[in-house]
């Protein structure tokens, strides 16, 4: 289920309060001349694109533009203003960012972000929450986009539901357990002997399938997968938490990549639909 918030929340969220699929929207944030001046001073980036109006116009931007990292910095401010993790945040872990269009003085930015990963650390008292962020201007254009992970405190040292840890062995085993009761899956793989890899980011799990059943779930099966199905955390999140299983539409639009035997992929593409149905059922079961 998707959760949306556009107003500050009353309490700080700990690791257990975050869930893959939650969606948050900030209040609009106006970009001012003072923002450009201050960010130029702080960053030390005084390139003429940021400081010389005539030069910026001749370069096709119309007016000076904000330095690219301003968008990231403004998102961190928006995240703070939502008061999601005032008392629980520990550290920023990484940022992977794309710059799609310039930001100008006078723009009004909003920040929409979706939780695409939640993983408790080995210590148990904290967890990593990964966010997919989109920066949108007043015209509805995406100007920046990326992911950024943050370390937050956990309320206790409990165990996690596996449904949001795409591509991990616990998640794969939970999916396989649901597939054991799926007659469609058993019928579709009744004469198949092979393995399918499921990859999300840096996590990959292999399902070893033999005559209608998953007989092994591991990070690596002995002879490797016949093919590996790979996509990013946001697409996995949308597939598993969205209103319907739109795997085929996304596959046709190139949102996935497949590495390995194209023949086996085409032969068993329907099986992936059943696997994703199980992953969707797992997410609903874990949230109920």
Residues with pLDDT less than 70, the chain: 1-11, 159-162, 286-288
State the Cα–Cα distance between residues 162 and 8, nearest whole angstrom: 29
The whole-number pLDDT of residue 46 equals 97
The whole-number pLDDT of residue 3 equals 46
Any idea where the domains of the chain sit in the sequence?
15-158, 163-287
User: Does domain 15-158 sit in CATH 3.10.129.10?
Assistant: yes
Within 10 angstroms of residue 48's Cβ, the number of other Cβ atoms is 13
For 110-144, the pLDDT digits (tens) are 999 999 999 888 888 999 999 999 999 999 999 99
The whole-number pLDDT of residue 73 equals 97
Coil/strand/helix, residue 120: strand
The whole-number pLDDT of residue 288 equals 58
State the Cα–Cα distance between residues 179 and 209, nearest whole angstrom: 11
State the Cα–Cα distance between residues 49 and 63, nearest whole angstrom: 8
Query: pTM for the complete prediction?
Result: 0.85
State the Cα–Cα distance between residues 68 and 90, nearest whole angstrom: 25
Asked if 157 and 125 touch (Cβ cutoff 8 Å), the reply is yes
In words, the CATH class of domain 163-287 is alpha beta
Phi and psi at 248, nearest 5°, equal -65, -40
- Rounded to 10 deg, the angle between the 33-43 and 69-81 helix axes is 110
The whole-number pLDDT of residue 7 equals 41
């Amino acid at each position: 289920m998707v959760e949306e918030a556009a107003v500050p929340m009353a309490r700080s969220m700990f690791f257990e309060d975050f869930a893959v699929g939650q969606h948050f929207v900030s209040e609009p944030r106006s970009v001012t001349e003072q923002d450009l001046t201050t960010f130029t001073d702080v960053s030390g980036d005084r390139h003429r694109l940021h400081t010389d109006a005539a030069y910026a116009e001749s370069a096709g931007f119309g007016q000076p533009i904000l330095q690219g990292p301003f968008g990231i910095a403004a998102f961190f401010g928006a995240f703070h203003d939502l008061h999601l993790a005032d008392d629980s945040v520990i550290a920023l872990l990484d940022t992977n960012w794309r710059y799609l269009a310039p930001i100008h003085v006078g723009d009004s930015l909003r920040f929409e972000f979706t939780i695409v990963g939640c993983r408790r650390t080995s210590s148990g008292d904290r967890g990593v929450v990964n966010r997919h962020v989109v920066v949108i201007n007043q015209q509805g254009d995406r100007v920046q986009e990326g992911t950024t992970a943050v370390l937050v405190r956990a309320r206790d040292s409990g165990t996690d539901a596996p449904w949001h840890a795409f591509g991990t062995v616990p998640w794969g085993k939970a999916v396989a357990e649901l597939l054991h009761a799926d007659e469609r899956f058993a019928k579709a793989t009744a004469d198949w002997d092979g393995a399918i890899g499921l990859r999300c980011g840096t996590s990959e799990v292999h399902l070893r399938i033999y005559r209608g059943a998953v007989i092994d779930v591991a990070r690596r099966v002995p002879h490797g997968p016949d093919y590996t199905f790979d996509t990013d955390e946001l697409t996995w999140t949308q597939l598993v938490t969205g209103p319907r299983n739109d795997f085929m539409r996304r596959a046709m639009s190139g949102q996935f990549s497949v590495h390995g035997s194209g023949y086996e992929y085409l032969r068993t593409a329907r099986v992936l639909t059943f696997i994703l149905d199980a992953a969707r059922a797992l997410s609903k079961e874990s949230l109920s």
